[in-house]
């Protein structure tokens, strides 16, 4: 029986898609106002790389811009994301609360490991009151390598986890599970890609399916 579950945030617990486009549009409008951008907002490019750390995002979206401009845009984008979360424009995926309650009733430990930044994650956790179920939320910022496998390894070491699963929608989540000897649960949600999910031990279409995993 699985006793510890480590969840990704974006595209797994939180419907990032609901605030992604408007926040990205805000960021690129800011660039346009500075005469630093004159093309459409590259939302499709971002969708394809969802799940990678933000510094890598801006390398991909702004390859010809300076590091200073990328960092400035990153900070502004984060500001808009948090604003839109606190304005209630985002949403959790269906059954997050139900599954978390079910897991806690069965004495399972719940953690979040995300490539998102600390302030962003705190905004989601606080707005949706996830702390009532989640033991601790971890950001990729806490790991020098910016590697999710290393982040999951650090969680396992801190809490003595030897048996558990990583639940996420992208290859970085699946690899984080397999690199650390955990079960890889792939979420077939908005940003998921079939070739990546094929490498998971188990694929779910709804978080409510996790009840089977912990009741075996």
What length is written for the chain? 216
Burial 5-26 (b: 16+ CB within 10 A, else e): bbbbbbbbbbbbbbbbeebbeb
- Give the SS3 label for residue 53: coil
Q: Is the pLDDT of residue 5 over 90?
A: yes
Q: Does one domain contain both 9 and 71?
A: no
pLDDT at 81 (0 to 100) = 94
What digits encode the pLDDT tens for the residues 7-31? Answer: 999 999 999 989 988 999 999 999 9
Bridge partners of 14? 10, 92
Q: What is the mean pLDDT of the chain?
A: 94
Could you tell me the pLDDT band of residue 164, with boundaries at 50, 70 and 90?
very high
Q: Are residues 133 and 74 in the same domain?
A: no
| 169 and 110 in a common domain | yes
3-state SS, residue 184: strand
Q: Report the alpha-carbon distance of residue 23 to residue 3 in Å, rounded.
A: 36
Backbone angles phi, psi at 4, to 5 degrees: -130, 130
Mean pLDDT of 107-134: 96
Q: Pick the more confident residue, 85 or 48.
A: 85
In this structure, the answer to whether residues 81 and 97 fall within a common structural domain is: no
DSSP bridge partners of 5: 110, 165
Strands lying side by side in the sheet with 136-139: 136-139, 109-114, 4-7, 164-168, 183-187, 202-204
Q: Is the pLDDT of residue 110 over 80?
A: yes
pLDDT category of residue 151 using cuts at 50, 70 and 90: very high
Residue 40 falls in which region: left (phi positive, over 0), alpha (psi -120 to 50) or beta? beta
Q: Are 115 and 132 part of one and the same domain? A: yes
> What's the pTM value of the predicted model, to 2 decimals?
0.90
pLDDT of residue 216: 62
Residue whose tokens read 């995002």:
57
Domains in the chain, number: 2
Answer yes or no: do 53 and 115 share one domain: no
Once rounded to an integer, what is the mean pLDDT over residues 132-146?
Answer: 94
pLDDT > 70: percent of the chain: 99
7: three-class secondary structure by DSSP: strand
Are 97 and 135 found together in one domain? yes
Q: Is the pLDDT assigned to residue 56 strictly greater than 70?
A: yes
Give, in order, the Cα–Cα distances in Å from 171 to each of 100, 109, 155: 23, 23, 19
Instruction: Mention every residue, 6+ apart, whose C-beta is less than 8 A from residue 77.
Output: 23, 24, 26, 27, 54
Instruction: Give the pLDDT score at 1.
Output: 73
CATH number, domain of 112, equals 3.40.50.1000
Where on the phi/psi map is residue 166: left (φ > 0), alpha (ψ -120 to 50), or beta? beta
**Together in a domain, 128 and 169:** yes
**Residues 163, 76 share a domain:** no
Is 80 exceeded by the pLDDT of residue 53? no
Q: What are the CA-CA distances from residue 139 to residues 71, 92, 216 (Å)?
A: 18, 18, 30
Residues 6+ apart with CB under 8 A from 178: 184, 199
Whether pLDDT at 49 is above 90: no
User: What pLDDT, on the 0 to 100 scale, is given for residue 191?
Assistant: 85
Q: Mind listing the pLDDT tens digit for each residue in 173-205? A: 999 999 999 999 999 998 889 999 999 999 999
Is pLDDT above 90 for 109? yes
Domain assignment of residue 161, given as a range: 4-15+91-215
């Amino acid at each position: 029986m699985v006793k510890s579950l480590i969840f990704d945030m974006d595209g797994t617990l939180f419907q990032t898609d609901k605030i992604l486009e408007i926040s990205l549009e805000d960021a690129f409008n800011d660039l346009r106002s500075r005469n630093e951008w004159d093309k459409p907002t590259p939302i499709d490019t971002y969708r394809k790389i969802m799940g990678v750390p933000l510094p890598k995002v801006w390398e991909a979206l702004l390859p010809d811009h300076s590091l200073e401009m990328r960092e400035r845009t990153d900070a502004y984008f984060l500001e808009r994301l948090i604003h839109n979360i606190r304005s209630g424009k985002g949403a959790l995926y269906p059954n997050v609360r139900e599954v978390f309650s079910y897991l806690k009733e069965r004495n399972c430990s719940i953690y979040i490991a995300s490539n998102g930044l600390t302030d962003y994650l705190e905004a989601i956790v606080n707005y949706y009151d996830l702390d009532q179920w989640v033991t601790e939320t971890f950001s990729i910022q806490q790991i020098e390598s910016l590697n999710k496998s290393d982040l999951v390894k650090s969680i396992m070491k801190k809490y003595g986890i030897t048996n558990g699963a990583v639940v996420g929608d992208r290859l970085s989540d699946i690899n984080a599970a397999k690199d650390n000897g955990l079960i890889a649960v792939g979420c077939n949600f908005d940003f998921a890609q079939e070739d990546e999910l094929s490498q998971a031990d188990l694929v779910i279409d709804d978080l409510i399916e996790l009840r089977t995993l912990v009741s075996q």
